[in-house]
Amino acid sequence: MRRRRERGVILDVDADDFGMGELASLAQSVRDSGILVASDELDANGETHTRRDRLNADRAGDVPEAAPVARIAHVILQRALQEGASDIHIRPGAGGTAVYYRIYGILHDIVALPVYVHEPLVRYLQTLAGISVGAGRQRHRAVLHINYRDAEHAVRLSTVRTTAGEYAAMRILYPPSVTGGLDALGMSTDIAAALDLTRDERGGLILVAGPAGSGRTTTLYALLLDLPLADQSVITIEDPVELTLPGVAQAPVDPQEGRDFPTALKQALELDADAIMCSDVPDAATARVLLEASLAAPLVYSAVHADDAVHAMRRLLDLGVSRFMLAEGLGAVLVQRLMRVPCAECAQEREVTPAEREWLRDAGIAEPPPTVSTSQGCEACRKTGVTGRTAAHEVLTIDAELRRLLGSDAAISEVEATAAERLIPLRHDLARKVLAGRVDIVEAMCGTAFLPRYK
Ligand SMILES: [Zn+2]
């Protein structure tokens, strides 16, 4: 552990601009000040933080020296935002606390902090997020709101008790003003057109699917902000509300007050909204009300955890929605994956292997080129070969034939085979992006290796 402490900061840090190098002395202050409970520190500074308080990470330098643990937290958060990290992990251990950032899908070991910093640091974050540290400790998930460069960022904090202490994981949600909305998601024009058609002509439920960490919430938000909000009433049901969306009414779910997803959805329906977004489908009751809502409201958006479009449909059937209801209510399924963007600075052409050629053909590229580009890493990309992330998609729109089959008593395998024929598959979108140098072919092949085929 000594070695790790001496190694300290792993990423390059601009010392003038930023205080990552100060973490060691701040950690020393945490020990010297003897303040081990973060909430006490907040009281000592005369500050009370409620759940909606904003932590101004732009001004880490303004945090009083008397609260070194707050300063450590601010530095960790500020640096993560500056780096474009998607996640921060604070992992306790007998020899100290390890802080990791996930940047473009790759986990980086950022800094090691002395063991006595861990508890106050996690408590401070919990306090900011409105998790009561004392009695009961029932809640272990909440959202922190952070102002950074004049934009509100949401950080979803989850903690899990381990034998070494509380493990804290934070997922950063960048606002659409930073991510650039729907255009910047990297959505191909035919996929965007299929969604537009559903939105403008058919309506119904637009389901966003993808594995964990695929950016479903960001996409749901971008889809809502793409609506003509000036003359439409848009309501969201969320658990919890993450980012504030201008022009959108956002209702948090609160089961303790009797407002669970189905109840909140029914209330939203009574308001005669033009579009309703339900951030999750946690159970059968929500799934049923969601489909009912999609018959009543012009547009309904929601998200499920599923790897492909057929699986997303099956997920709703498994939750007890009838095939008839699904056929009537479902408009389209959008599946999303986040992929690393290869660095253009160090991209080099190399020959396509026979297996890659076969994969490209299989993905709908009739005549694969003899070479593809690969990025080995350079100074510009910190030797990772990666300069960002983009999304790849699959879209399934429910046309009349598919609706008829789904609502009939045809075998589900027949429905799934027809759905597979209708969709623009993830493989195809990935292959196009490989040829455009926007996705690495090895990552694309690995990411689709275990996807099922329905025909
Ligand atoms: Zn590079």
Residue 210 banded pLDDT, cuts 50, 70, 90: very high
Distance 344 CA to ligand 1 centre (A): 6
Distance CA 404, CA 385 (A): 47
13/150 same-domain check = yes
Final residue of a structural domain among 174, 192, 223: 174
- Among residues 431, 425, 430, the alpha carbon closest in space to that of 369 is found at 431
Cα(104) to centroid(ligand 1), Å: 14
* Cα 270-273-275 angle, rounded to 5 deg: 130
Q: Domain of 57?
A: 2-174
Do 266 and 403 share a structural domain?
Answer: yes
CATH of the domain at 431: 3.40.50.300
Q: Within this chain, do residues 170 and 182 fall inside the same structural domain, yes or no?
A: no
- Give per-residue pLDDT as tens, 382-441: 888 999 889 999 999 999 999 999 999 999 999 999 999 999 999 999 999 999 999 999
**2 pLDDT above the threshold of 70:** no
How far, in Å, is the centroid of ligand 1 from the Cα of 342?
Answer: 8
Centroid of ligand 1 to alpha carbon of 382 (angstroms): 7
Helices (H), 1-84: 2-7, 23-33, 38-44, 68-83
Task: Give the percent of the chain with pLDDT over 70.
Answer: 84
Do 281 and 207 share a structural domain? Answer: yes
Asked if 191 and 57 sit in the same domain, the reply is no
Indicate whether 453 belongs to any domain: no
Residue 394 lies in a domain: yes
Q: What is the 3-state secondary structure (H, E, C) of 259-316?
A: ECHHHHHHHHHHCCCCEEEECCCCCHHHHHHHHHHHHHCCEEEEEEECCCHHHHHHHH
- The CATH number of the domain where 92 resides is what? 3.30.450.90
Question: Is residue 455 situated within a structural domain?
Answer: no
Q: Which of 174, 189, 224 is the last residue of a domain?
A: 174
Specify the number of domains making up the chain. Answer: 2
Claim to verify: residue 263 and residue 191 sit in the same structural domain:
yes
Q: Are residues 353 and 394 in the same domain?
A: yes
Residue 54 belongs to a domain: yes
Confidence of residue 234 (pLDDT cuts 50, 70, 90): very high
pLDDT at 50 over 80: no
Ligand 1 centroid to 217 CA: how many Å?
30
Task: For residue 432, report the distance from its CA to the centre of ligand 1, in Å.
Answer: 21
Going from the C-alpha of 219 to that of each of 203, 206, 259, 436, the distances in angstroms are 18, 12, 25, 22
Judgement on whether residues 168 and 182 belong to the same structural domain of the protein: no
Q: Is the pLDDT of residue 370 over 60?
A: yes
Backbone angles phi, psi at 22, to 5 degrees: -85, -5
From the CA of 440, how far away is ligand 1's center (Å)? 13
Same-domain status, 181 and 167: no
Average pLDDT over residues 239-258: 88
Please tell me the pTM assigned to this model.
Answer: 0.81
Residue 167 sits in the same domain as residue 254 = no
293 and 407 share one domain: yes
- Tokens 């690495």, residue located: 440
Q: Which of 370, 394, 203 is nearest to 301 (CA)?
A: 203
Q: How far is the centre of ligand 1, averaged over its atoms, from the C-alpha of 347 (Å)? A: 7
Ligand 1 midpoint to CA 373 (Å): 12
- Give the domain-ending residue among 174, 208, 241: 174
For ligand 1, the distance from its centroid to the CA atom of residue 374, given in whole angstroms, is 10
What is the tens place of the pLDDT at every residue in 276-302?
A: 999 999 999 999 999 999 998 789 999
Q: Please indicate, yes or no, whether residues 137 and 230 belong to a single structural domain of this protein.
A: no
- 313-341 mean pLDDT: 95
What is the pLDDT confidence band of residue 123, given thresholds at 50, 70 and 90? confident
Contact yes or no for 396/308 (Cβ under 8 A): no
